[in-house]
């Protein structure tokens, strides 16, 4: 099987960042890709003006790229924040203000997956209080996603890089997925299986795939160590993606790795050009 049997998209929040945001979709298209994803690109505001939303919409349309994944507002990414929805006060307020904005933008460009980063633990706040707030906000986000025909993604991060983030194992994320689905009855909450984060946590990625492929709504990859392109580390990424395929996952594989000290366009040598366009 191999890489030619997968559907790949490029995360424009970690690749092509040497370019302004509105030039990145065209750069991805020039590299042969037809699908992209993004962290919430306006880190300073959960509610950008109509002109900013329209400019990104046009950049996607003019480049011929499809947005297949979008994060809800999650604070400063990259940076110390790891989400806002479980952080009491201003940050959770900002997340709630973003829900309909993000869902409506996703609908306008045909994006069917919205990722909600859980948020860091906050000193002096009972974790149970944060978890209650998180479930409330995730239920609201799941319902908004459902209204536009999208799924809600719940992601595991890794403890070495995100020590205050509570979802640092696949079972922890799956528990939240199940709670959201039980609360809404919609069944549209899914697991975002990030191979890099799982491996950084020391999890058996193959076992995670076997256990949770049916609950997986999106996959992201980077090699480990280094979070570089496939082949720069020691992860058997091709074998793991084959395993996902055999387990029944046929969704998008997001390229969420660092290009290193070379232009992003030169970081795709591992992937045949024929495999870069969605089929």
pLDDT of 118-133, one tens digit each? 999 999 999 999 999 9
How far are the Cα atoms of 217, 222, 247, 252 from residue 36, in angstroms, in the given order? 16, 16, 24, 10
Q: Which of 37, 91, 203, 256 is catalytic?
A: 256
In this structure, the number of other CB atoms found within 10 A of the CB of residue 96 comes to: 18
Token duo for residue 22: 């509105």
Boundaries of domain holding 216: 3-275
Active site residue 155: yes
* 256 is an active site residue: yes
Q: What radius of gyration, in Å, describes the C-alpha atoms of the chain? A: 18
Domain of 202, CATH number, reads 3.20.20.150
pLDDT for 78 equals 83
pLDDT for 1 equals 53
Among 251, 244, 176, smallest CA distance to 212 is for: 244
Could you say which residues of the chain have pLDDT below 70? 1-2, 279
Task: Report helix angle 90-109 to 127-147, nearest 10.
Answer: 20
pLDDT at 230: 97
Among residues 37, 91, 155, 203, which one is catalytic?
A: 155
Angle (CA) 180 182 186, round 5°: 80
Nearby residues of 274 by Cβ (< 8 Å), 6 or more positions away = 4
pLDDT of residue 80: 86
3-class DSSP string for the chain: CCHHHCEEEEECCCCCCCCCHHHHHHHHHHCCCCEEEECCCCCCCCCCCHHHHHHHHHHHHHHCCEEEEEECCCCCCCCCCCECCCCCCHHHHHHHHHHHHHHHHHHHHCCCEEECCECCCCCCCCHHHHHHHHHHHHHHHHHHHHHCCCEEEEECCCCCCCCCCCCCCHHHHHHHHHHHHHHHCCCCEEEEEEHHHHHHCCCCHHHHHHHHHHHEEEEEECCCCCCCCCCCCCCCHHHHHHHHHHCCCCCEEEECCCCCCCCHHHCCCCCCHHHCCCC
**Cα–chain center distance at 175:** 18
Domain count, the chain: 1
The pLDDT of residue 95 is: 98
pLDDT tens per residue, range 36-66: 999 999 999 999 999 999 999 999 999 999 9
* Assessment of whether the complete model's pTM goes beyond 0.95: yes
Q: What pLDDT shows up at residue 77?
A: 84
């Amino acid at each position: 099987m191999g890489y030619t049997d997968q559907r790949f998209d490029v995360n424009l929040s970690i690749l092509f960042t040497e370019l302004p945001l509105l030039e990145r979709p065209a750069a991805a298209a020039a590299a042969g890709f037809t699908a992209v994803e993004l962290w919430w690109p306006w880190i300073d505001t959960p509610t950008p003006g109509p002109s900013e939303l329209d400019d990104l919409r046009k950049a996607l349309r003019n480049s011929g790229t499809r947005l297949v994944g979008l994060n809800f507002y999650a604070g400063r990414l990259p940076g110390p924040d790891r989400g806002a929805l479980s952080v009491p006060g201003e940050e959770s307020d900002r997340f709630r203000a973003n829900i309909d904005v993000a869902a409506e933008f996703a609908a306008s460009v045909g994006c069917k997956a919205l990722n909600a980063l859980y948020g860091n633990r906050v000193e002096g706040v009972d974790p149970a209080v944060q978890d209650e707030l998180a479930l409330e906000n995730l239920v609201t986000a799941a319902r908004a996603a459902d209204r536009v025909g999208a799924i809600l993604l719940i992601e595991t991060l890794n403890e070495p890089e995100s020590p205050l983030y509570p979802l640092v194992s696949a079972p922890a994320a799956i528990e939240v997925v199940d709670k959201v689905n039980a609360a809404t009855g919609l069944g549209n909450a899914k697991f975002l299986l990030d191979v890099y984060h799982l491996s950084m946590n020391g999890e058996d990625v193959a076992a995670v795939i076997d256990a949770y492929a049916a609950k997986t709504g999106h996959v992201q990859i980077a090699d480990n160590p280094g979070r570089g392109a496939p082949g720069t580390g020691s992860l058997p990424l091709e074998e793991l993606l084959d395993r996902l395929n055999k387990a029944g996952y046929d969704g998008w594989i997001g390229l969420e790795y660092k290009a290193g000290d070379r232009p992003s366009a030169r970081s795709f040598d591992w992937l045949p050009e024929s495999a870069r366009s969605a089929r």
